[in-house]
Structure 1
Amino acid sequence: MTLADAASRTAAVSSPSSPTQAHAVLSARGIEAWHVESPIVPLIALAFTFEGGAAQDPEGKAGVAQMLSRLLDEGAGDYDSDTFQERLAARAIELNFHAGPDAVGGSLKMLVKHADEAVELLALALARPRFDEAAIERVRAQMLAGLRYQQNDPGVMASRRFFAEAYPGHPYGRASSGTIESVSAITRDDLVAMHARLIGRGRVKVAAVGAIGTDALARALDAAFGALPEGGPLAAVPRVAIAGLGRRIVVDLDVPQSVIRFGTDGVAWRDPDFIPAYVLNHILGGGAFTSRLFQEVREKRGLAYSVGTSLVSHRAAAMTWGYTATKNERVAECLAVIAEEIARLTGDGPSDEELQKAKDYLTGSYALGFDTSTKIAHQLVQVAFEGLGIDYIGRRNGLITAVTQDDIRRAAARTLGDGRLLVVAAGRPTEI
């Protein structure tokens, strides 16, 4: 019986499940996936991630992990790039790969009737990528073109400089996309070596959502990932805290407004204080139109079109990170307003009403991130990657509801601290 036949038969007798009812499936070869079965439409979505990403790039070769992710579907096994892509297109199979600081991952979406062929192509891409010279040079040219274009983008320049200053001499301080010099220096041997280190069954996390039953999924896991080696040893990524707090740095660009990046300490997703910090961040700058920074910087003073903050969580570092853009002559004023609002929030805390509204929004909007099978799969695999437990999605809203003012004060002390920020402005700000 094919995977498609087994999946269709299971879908016909099953009822749909929610993300909170995910269960673990273990294949014969030891590959585990978190599974949500839903026969509503004849689709299957897989998401997967391998531990180890751009932080594993060799010294002087930043961009290897990203180039690897772009080349995995550029020909595999007996199929060159054009033939491989034609096979995907003929069956409307969506296969994508991506690389981040700590992981290389991807997703696969297919109709149930094409499940066997889709899984076969995924297995080839992971285990037997060709790394043909023509494909390498094509992808290299695309990456270099992007890097040259970004040299005139204030937002990209500000972000790159910010992380370089925040994590000097550390892998997180390098841009995942590399530099013109480093991308030009990447060889086929670098890609082969990175593939051998990262793409291993021993460090993969998988989530599957859709019209596929447990037995069919177990066979698909072995077909897709079972033939992979365990994977090579990863280089240790040392823990690091954000550097340069209190500094203001200018990237000189001849533009009428400055793009600003700012940041301070943070807590990682695995940290017990992450949920309080997440609620605090929503109040400060993560809540779009309702956040304090949006109200003070944009609505009351018209200093910027957009302003916001988010929590950045890596394996070995965490920060509270923010962004805005304003006229060169108003940069100092904008930064003063941001600093004042951080001080007010850490000193006085939010009102009880403000805290309750934040919790109501964060719990009420959570379900919007689960409206497609692909979104559910990505959420599940991220939770698995972070080691939060298969029941996290079901517990998450309860954790937010339980946040108290004491929790907020503790999170503020750990993240916003004394209010010092590392600030990078790309433009020609005055009086900074």
Structure 2
Amino acid sequence: MIRALLRSLLICLLLPGAALAVDPPKVTIESVTSPGGITAWLWRDETVPVISIQAAARGGSRLDPKPGVSRLMNALTGTTAGNYDPVGFVRQFESLSASLAINRTPAYDQISIRMIRDKRDDSADLIALSLTQRVIPDAAILQGRTTLKRQLQADQRQPGVRAEQTLAALFLGDQVPMITTPLLPRVDDITRDDMMAVSRDRLTRANLSVAVAGAISPAELAPLLDRLFGKLPPGEVAPPLPTFPERPQPGFYHVPVPGAPQSSLVTVLPGLDRRDADFWPAAILEHVLGGATFTSRLKIELREKRGMVYSTGSALRYGGLRPTWVTTAAMAPGRVAEAIAITKRLWAELRDGGITQDELDAARDYYLGASIVSLTSTGAMADFVGRLQLDGLPPTYYDDRRALLAGLTLERVNAAAKRLIDPDALVIIAAGETTPDLPPSLPLPPGF
């Protein structure tokens, strides 16, 4: 499968305009249920004898018992499981060529697993031990607190981080205090019991989704699922997301970062779910506005024509607590006011004038090619399948999206621009030095 994807990619690279003409191999994603009732989606690929698994436990750090517990857990090293000492624990993983990583995000805890096919049973036993009998030594807690404090202190001096923190606080309101509460004064209040409670309460079968890619058959995967996850507690389904404010007050927000050599500018509109009928029209518009590496309108106007930014980009962000459509730029503090005016104009032009047929064709070809080049490892394939599960999309989506992209018309995309883009609703956040030409700032969220 991976070799076939690479062959298709090579054709796309060698033949101009070939992205629409090349049909990559069909993708089959199977549903597999273990004897114990654990279900996984499997993308089978026998190219290399590796199995990659992306599991997710819905809930995430919004459900932390205290602010910052998940951040501290992400910063820990030197943990172990069962009767292993930390060094012996690492060596056992190395001897099996296996890996386990857990990343706790606001919406879910992501469990990334990789193992060799012939060592899958021993690897699964070690990983199951890690998930159900974790040990956090005192030394690991002290090290984690020190690391997290340094990260948080550094964050206060980073305009990009401060802008993103403000964005989160504005769009999430006071509904998820575990995410938006300032953490630095609270790190020492987090205990081992808090962290163990997160593992116990969130890593449960009730909230688990599992995606698998690689060299394993459905018959082999079914018992492996029970071996990996069968000892997790049943748990209860995580509560639904809270009701967020409809949208923040539009306008300009300035976050002072004294002494910062550059400023960060973020403009934001509400985004949309991947299941929205206008998601792919919006993705085309986003690519034209700021996503294209060299040809986006933001890149041309802010960097190529004026040389006023160090970097610029845009993104449709989804899969977290609340979808957003974001543009970003980094520049000298004295150029922020000018960059705001240009960025607002580009948003308005995108809504009122839409895009051209050439821009549509280029963006569509990019996405069709990217769907091939981004899936050339079992890890990437498992991550892709896992995202389908989290976003509520069907297992046929890999093939479906090619048809969705191919069917887009200029009229459809430009109609979506008028529906989705409202320049007067923009939330504009600048973080960095205060300069006299900046507009007055709206009140910042508490803690800023």
| Alignment-mate amino acid for residue 29 of structure 2 | A
The answer for the alignment partner of 1:358 in structure 2 is 363
> C-alpha displacement at 1:270, in angstroms?
2.7
Aligned to 2:151, what secondary structure does the other structure show?
A: helix
The match for 2:41 is 34
Mapped pair 1:231 → 2:238? no
SS in 2 for 1:222: helix
1:140 to 108, 131, 145: 145
User: Would the aligned equivalents of 1:310 and 1:322 in 2 still touch at CA under 8 Å?
Assistant: yes
Deviations 1:56-75 (A, max 9, x none): 123xx222223345559821
Secondary structure of 2:259's match? coil
Is the contact made by 1:253 and 1:426 (CA closer than 8 Å) also made in structure 2?
no
1:53 equivalenced with 2:56 (yes/no): no
Is 1:44 matched with 2:51?
yes
SS in 2 for 1:247: strand
Aligned equivalents of 1:69 and 1:28: distance in 2?
32
* Identity value in percent: 31
Per-residue deviation at 1:76?
1.4
Does residue 1:25 correspond to 2:32, yes or no? yes
Gaps of 5+ in 2: 1-23, 439-448
Deviates more, 1:383-392 or 1:72-81: 72-81
Give how far 1:26 is off.
Answer: 0.9
Give the letter for the 1:198 counterpart.
R
1:101 paired to 2:71 = no
2:194 to 173, 190, 193: 190
TM-score, structure 2 normalization: 0.86
Aligned to 1:80: 85
Report SS of the residue matched to 1:365.
helix
Structure 1's 147 and 391: CA in aligned 2 closer, same or farther, altered over 3 A? Answer: same
Q: Which residue of 2 aligns with 1:124?
A: 129
Matched, 1:396 2:393: no
Counterpart-to-counterpart distance in 2, 1:404 and 1:72: 51
Note the residue ranges of structure 1 that are not aligned, 5 or more in a row: 1-16
Q: Which residue of 2 aligns with 1:154?
A: 159
CA RMSD of aligned residues (A): 2.3
Partner letter of residue 309 of structure 1?
Answer: S
Question: Is the 2:77–2:140 contact (alpha carbons within 8 Å) kept by the matching residues of 1?
Answer: no
Q: Pick which of 307-316 and 273-282 moved more.
A: 307-316
Secondary structure of the 1:357 match is helix
Distance between the aligned counterparts of 2:134 and 2:178, measured in 1? 29
- Match status 1:243 vs 2:248: yes
Aligned residue number for residue 4 of structure 1: none
CA drift at 1:418: 3.4
Q: Deviations over 1:358-413 (max 9, x none)?
A: 11211122111101111111111111111101111111121122223343244324
* 1:305-328 CA-partner distances (Å, limit 9, x unpaired): 211111122455221112111122
SS of 1:160's partner is: helix
| Equivalent position amino acid for 1:42 in 2 | P
Q: TM-score, normalised by structure 1?
A: 0.89
> Which residue in 1 is equivalent to 2:258?
253
Q: Secondary structure at the match of 2:124?
A: helix
**199, 203, 221: which one aligns with 1:199:** 203
**Equivalent-residue separation in structure 1 for 2:389 and 2:39 (angstroms):** 10
* Contact persistence 1:257–1:427 (CA under 8 A): yes
| Aligned-pair CA distance for 1:416 | 2.1
